[in-house]
Amino acid sequence: MTDLVLSVDVAAPAGTTWLALTDWHRQREWLLGTDVRVVSGNGRSVGSKLEAFTGVAGVGFTDSMEITSWEPPVRCTVRHLGFLVRGTGSFHVQDRGPSRSVFIWSEQLDLPFGVVGRLGWPLVKPVFSLGLRRSLHNFAKFAESYVVGG
């Protein structure tokens, strides 16, 4: 099991940040190389299932998830159900005043491939973290100009 926690300051109220964050279909606008879709439920309640395909030109992998905690406008937790991605992920929004918030992305991942996965993670983690940091930067800009249904 490995932990990863990254955050970004957002110049938008917590409610707006939450709505932008949980607009699953539009995550492709800020999350590098990833398309997310709701496959079961309404995507806004415990038990809803999501799929996120990450890749380029159809080559990649699908991360299947189930929402296990839904606490708007503060936290959404998912359980990753796939072969490559297993564990728990959490989106947390902290209110910092009328026009500021912080988005925290945390993951507790079970690494795939046994010993090979554990040995390879120190090589993969910096690249994964760099991509996620870029995505969080993109998210802040996205949320700061977010329009519901936009």
Class (C level, CATH) for 2-144 = alpha beta
Model confidence, pTM: 0.90
Token pair listed for 106 = 């945390």
Task: Per-residue pLDDT tens, the chain, 150 aa: give them.
Answer: 788 999 999 999 999 999 999 999 999 999 999 999 999 999 999 999 999 999 988 899 999 999 999 999 999 999 999 877 889 999 999 999 999 999 999 999 887 777 877 777 788 888 888 999 999 999 999 999 998 766
Sheet with 101-110, edge to edge strand ranges? 2-10, 101-110, 86-95, 75-81, 59-71, 49-56, 34-40
Q: Where are the domains of the chain?
A: 2-144
For the chain, the first-to-last Cα distance in angstroms comes to 38
- Residue 63 CA to residue 51 CA, distance in Å, equals 6
